[in-house]
Amino acid sequence: MKVGIIGRTNVGKSTFFKALTLEDVQIEDRPFTTIEPNRGIAYVTVKCPEKEFDTKCVPHNSPCVSGVRFVPLEIIDVAGLIEGANEGKGLGNKFLSDAMEVDGLIQVIDISGKTDGTGNQTINYDSKRDVEMVRKELKLWVKSIILRVKLHGTEDLSEAVYKALSGIKFSFNTVKEAIKNLNIKTLDESSAELISDYVLSRDKPMIIAANKMDATENLKERLEDLKSNFEYPIISCSAAAELTLKEASKHGFIDYYDDSIKIKRDLNREQIKAIDIISKIIKKHGNTGVQQALNELVFGLMKNKVVFTVEDEKKLSDGRGRILPDAYIVNQNATPRDVAELVHSEIAKNYRGAIDCRNGLKVKNDEPIKNCQVLKIIV
């Protein structure tokens, strides 16, 4: 599972990425700070089943903090987009292919309206323009790839388009469905654009992270305006606030857990002031919105699930005795066999079935996983 952070330049993409991963990346108030993509591990959060099973987990691949399980996924932060990127403007379109090697997208926008389309300071910039621009750039770029397809002899159209797009993770089924449902017989400007729109909307689900919510007085109006114009889920956030809290927590200044802040050490006047401002943001909005945005994409929009795997269904442990060691993100239709594939190719090869550890019963091989199911794969 891989998520991409995209958006116009200077909106706070790298800040958002760093707040989720704590990777040491460059953040600056100027356009085109990020050139090469930043890659890291972020986590979605679910309730750990340890309490329900009356046990204490010993996590392996997914840390657990006070009963909240952090399930890992890959995340990538790419260079900022500007109008014309599909034709090579700004930093060109190389990073479009970086951004597109993902299963889902978070588009970061600056909801405060204080940076313009080229990432420079302004007032009252309409962030709807950015949402339109990103949608257009992605569509035109995928369209340009489709238009490069050359059909050989009797080659099937779906096969040829899929081959051209497979490097950027579009599924064959989606491409085939697009060509069938849109009744496409040949490739030209308009049919390529239709296919592009179709496959993007199916295979690159996207939410909007309305960032810099701390820097505007008119958040409510601005959000309503966006919501009435787009169907994307929109989560308001302050990546800068989340990053400050995560860093302060990492260095032992505060406890930051479950959207509450507890000061642990003596802070200087500046630090107290910063924490005070952020506390007010959290009080007003309930949270900083960063983790919520990632969870919304992975669970809300993409409808993924989490599955826990164990080797011993009684002790709920792996071969080394670790309790509820591993958790994985799976898509909504994943079956026990798909889970086996995620765990190890050898396990998938020797797969003989799976047991639901909640009731000790065998799970049907074609039955979709239930969210937070604890499975023993039988090999």
Within 10 angstroms of residue 16's Cβ, the number of other Cβ atoms is 30
Q: What is the closest distance, in whole angstroms, from the C-beta atom of residue 275 to ligand GTP in the complex?
A: 15
Of 238, 222, 231, 228, the closest CA to residue 279 belongs to 238
- Does 53 bind ligand GTP (CB under 6 A)? Our answer is no
From the list 95-103, 237-245, 254-262, 307-315, the region that binds ligand GTP by CB under 6 A is 237-245
Residue 191 interacting partner from ligand GTP, Mg ion, none (CB closer than 5 to 8 Å by kind)? none
Q: What is the closest distance, in whole angstroms, from the C-beta atom of residue 19 to Mg ion in the complex?
A: 13
* x-marked contacts with ligand GTP along 9-48 as a string, rule CB under 6 A: xxxxxxx-----------xxx-xxxx--------------
Q: What is the closest distance, in whole angstroms, from the C-beta atom of residue 367 to Mg ion in the complex?
A: 42
- Does 294 bind ligand GTP (CB under 6 A)? Our answer is no
Give the per-residue SS3 of 197-264.
Answer: HHHHHHHCCEEEEEECHHHCCCHHHHHHHHHHHCCCCEEECCHHHHHHHHHHHHCCCEEEECCEEEEC
Q: Which residue is nearest to Mg ion (CB)?
A: 34
Q: What is the closest distance, in whole angstroms, from the C-beta atom of residue 13 to ligand GTP in the complex?
A: 4
Exposed (0-12), middle (13-18) or buried (19+): which is 258, by Cβ within 10 Å? exposed
Residue 171 interacting partner from Mg ion, ligand GTP, none (CB closer than 5 to 8 Å by kind)? none
Angle separating helix axes 189-203 and 172-181, nearest 10 degrees: 130
Sign of the Cα torsion 66, 300, 308, 356 reads positive
Residue 291 interacting partner from ligand GTP, Mg ion, none (CB closer than 5 to 8 Å by kind)? none
- Does 143 bind ligand GTP (CB under 6 A)? Our answer is no
Contact residues toward ligand GTP (CB under 6 A) are 9-15, 27-29, 31-34, 80, 211-212, 214-215, 238-240
